[in-house]
Amino acid sequence: MKKTMLLFAAGLCFAGAAMSQDGEVYENKNGEAVLPASGDWAIGFDAAPFLNYAGNLLNSGATSPTADWTDANTMDITGKMFVDANTAYRVRLRLGFGSGTWTNKVTDDKAVYDAGQAGNLVVDDVVDDVLKVSYNAITLGAGMEKRRGSGRVQGVYGGEALISLGGGKSTYTYGNDYSDDYATTSTDWGLGNINGAERSTEQNPGGTFGLAVRGFIGVEMFVFPKVSIAAEYGWGLGFSSTGDGTESTEEWGLTNATATANSKIEHEYATGGASSFGIDTDNSGGQLKIMFHF
């Protein structure tokens, strides 16, 4: 993947150089400005899905670009406002809200029991266990960027601060009810927290708050007029805190020492939070961004 990205980026650079006149760094042969100027705006996003797509066109293996919703580093949008040719204010934004549903088929315990009572030994009935997950993720950032160089390759440096908020919830529903007549089949969902007949019904972790201040340095290459590929590395400090949460479960049993019949018992447990602090480099993968200036 990295080889494909590098080859494609080199090809774009060659194409852009071919469009320019010898010694001309601000306009191409069509008179189009190549570099940003005072008053320009810019917007950028992760370049990897599109570089991979373009590279795969060469071997007929192209698929449509898709976002990696599990990687927060690829989800922010970067915007810039140039106060002059070498200085820009920059902002970063992510507003993420979403949900997902997973269904697992399990044996219908009641159907199996009824079939056994009727003398039928084979039954293929199933019911659905369902997991629903929702999340929210918000990131806001602001900073200033300076740049050096008068050609198509520009060095960039500066600083920014970011604040983030996030949270989520998971709910579990089960197709098999509890019964004294048979053992209840339930999906574990990889939680590892089913103790005997106890099973999770809801997990609600505490919300997460994050704060970071970072300096950055990188390179921006203008492959076409007002279109660039940029990469940067950063160093700074970050802090995050996750509040306490809750987990709800249910099980089948006697509610107290004097009860004579089993019934559904519901529990709610407190789950602990977490916090972290660090000073380190970031973006060690060298993420590429495509920037459009206008």
Cα–Cα dist 99/77, whole Å: 21
The amino acid that residue 266 corresponds to is: E
- Give the lowest-confidence range in 48-62, 202-216, 249-263: 48-62
Per-residue model confidence as pLDDT tens digits over 66-121: 333 334 445 678 899 999 999 999 999 988 899 999 999 999 999 999 998 888 87
Mean of all residue pLDDT scores within the chain: 81
Position 16 pLDDT exceeds 60: no
pTM: 0.71
Q: Is a pLDDT exceeding 90 seen at residue 56?
A: no
User: Rounded to whole angstroms, how far apart are CA atoms 151 and 97?
Assistant: 41
Give the pLDDT mean for 278-292. Answer: 78
DSSP character at residue 27 = B
Which is nearest to 170 in space by CA: 131, 130, 128?
131
For position 256, what pLDDT does the model report? Answer: 87
The arithmetic mean of pLDDT across residues 126-130, rounded, is: 96
- Beta-carbon contacts of 76 under 8 Å, excluding residues fewer than 6 positions away, are 92, 93, 94, 139, 141
Share of the chain above pLDDT 90, in %: 54
Q: Tell me, what DSSP letter sits at residue 23?
A: T
Q: Which of 55-64, 158-167, 183-192 has the lowest mean pLDDT?
A: 55-64
Per residue in 111-122, pLDDT tens? Answer: 999 998 888 877
- How large is the average pLDDT for residues 273-294? 83
CA distance 16 to 27: 11
Strand segments (E) across 2-152: 41-46, 77-84, 87-107, 126-148
User: Quick one: pLDDT band at residue 141, thresholds 50, 70, 90?
Assistant: very high
pLDDT(151) > 60: yes
Token digits for 155? 């060095």
Structural domain boundaries in the chain: 2-293
Q: Is the pLDDT of residue 60 over 80?
A: no
pLDDT digits (tens, 9 = 90+) for 163-203: 999 999 999 999 999 999 998 999 988 765 554 568 999 99
Secondary structure of residue 18 in the 3-state scheme: helix
The answer to whether 135 touches 203, Cβ cutoff 8 Å, is no
Q: What is the mean pLDDT of residues 227-238?
A: 90
- For residue 27, give every residue at least 6 positions away whose Cβ sits within 8 Å of its Cβ, in sequence order, or none: 20, 33, 34
Three-state SS for 209-259 is EEEEEEEEEEEEEEEECCEEEEEEEEEEEEEEEECCEEEEEEEEECCCCCC
Residues 6+ apart with CB under 8 A from 177: 110, 184
